[in-house]
Amino acid sequence: MSSSDLPLRHQSPLIFSGNNYLGLANHPEIVEKVASELHLYGNSFSASRKTTGTHEIHLQLEHLLSTFKQSEQSIVFATGYLGNSLLVRALRKGNTIVLADAQSHPSIVDSIPKDEVEVELYAHRDPGHLEELLKKHPSKDLLIMTDGVFALTGEIASLDELYELAMKYEAALIVDDAHATGILGENGRGTPEHFNLPGSKHIYQSETMSKALGSYGGFIASEVKLIEKIQAESNFYIASTALPPAIVLASLFSLQYLMQHPELRVQLLGNARKIREGVSSLGFETTPDLTPIIPLFFKEVKQAEQLSQYLKEAGFVVPAIKYPIQMEKSIVRITTNALHTSDEIEQLLFTLKKWTNEHPAH
């Protein structure tokens, strides 16, 4: 049967959105384990990590994150959004300039204390332009910042080239790997592993437990020296309530599951490949990298909104994204996960094909 003959069989809306990439956010086994242990801890530790909020399960989670990331130590905190800020504050010196990708996620932009450090943007994914800026500031302490996988476009930053530049100009490199943790690299350790970067010295990843890990909160896995500095100096660690038990347990059990089930990553990236190839062959403009974020680009916001609405009426949730990132094009952002079946993906592609037939000039 050719795809043009496919009937639309699903009943409830099919969600090709969000970041529950491995399906762990509602995995029955993980949910059950969390529920069965939660009564031991209650709802909140109601204290900061620095005072009495650090519990054995925080330490277990941080220890497992270090095992997963092969790092000396780890620290967890509320929201991945905060990670870039913790890193910039821990790594900046008196004379620091931040050089950030022009399409950085808002959590990078917001993390830079602009009254204390200078900042310049390099053209999106353009190591050549970054090098020009690095050369311009020989007497500065250099800090490069980029997304590992860009949240809107699914592009992978050329971290190999950025790393080479970081080594050449003695810069530190912060990578927001929110969309790469648990997904890219042989063991899901993110973009440094994807590019086989040796020991990842000078690379500092800001990571989240809210996407592939299907939980909530951020983490940094790095050298003891850096983690201890954050613990000692970050007001957030000192004066904000520790991650609550349900979140810590969910993160812990999800991470255990993720480490035991590499096939989920294979399934996810297989789905991503099918959709990417499918939309490309239908003539949509998209990006080439193998990640679960598959954007469809449009010149006009109206076109993006019209397609998103068309998909909604056909039973698919695929939002037209409005995001505070400088970008000329409008995007309908498809995200896939390890749970999407081949049949569901074919149904989505079938509906997109119907739309292109009705809108030949897209």
Ligand X SMILES: Cc1ncc(COP(=O)(O)O)c(C=O)c1O
CB of residue 290 vs ligand X: minimum separation in angstroms? 18
How many whole angstroms separate alpha carbon 90 and alpha carbon 283?
46
Q: Nearer to ligand X by C-beta: 81 or 122?
A: 81
Please report how close the Cβ of residue 149 comes to ligand X at its closest, in angstroms: 7
Tell me which residue has its CB nearest to ligand X.
Answer: 80
CB burial readout 253-262, b (16+ within 10 A) else e? bbbebbeebe
Give the interface with ligand X as residue ranges (CB under 6 A). 79-81, 105, 107, 147, 151, 176, 178-179, 208, 210, 218
DSSP codes, 286-348: ---S-SSEEEEEESSHHHHHHHHHHHHHTTEE-PEE--SS--SSEEEEEE--TT--HHHHHHH
Q: Is the dihedral of CA 186, 188, 191, 196 positive or negative?
A: negative
Candidates 113, 101, 223; CA nearest to 162 is 101
Q: Which of 187, 207, 185, 181 is nearest to 196 (CA)?
A: 185
Furthest-apart CA atoms within the chain: distance in Å: 66
Shortest distance in whole angstroms from residue 106 CB to ligand X: 8
As a whole number of angstroms, the distance between CA 276 and CA 281 comes to: 9
Q: By C-alpha distance, which of 350, 292, 270 is closest to 155?
A: 292
Write out the H or E segment, with its range, that includes residue 15.
strand 14-15
Please, which residue, 103 or 303, has the CB nearer to ligand X? 103
User: Residue 147 Cβ, how far from ligand X at the closest point, in Å?
Assistant: 5
Min dist. Cβ of residue 103 to ligand X (A): 11
Which C-beta is closer to ligand X: that of 210 or that of 291?
210
Least Cβ distance, residue 101 to ligand X (angstroms): 11
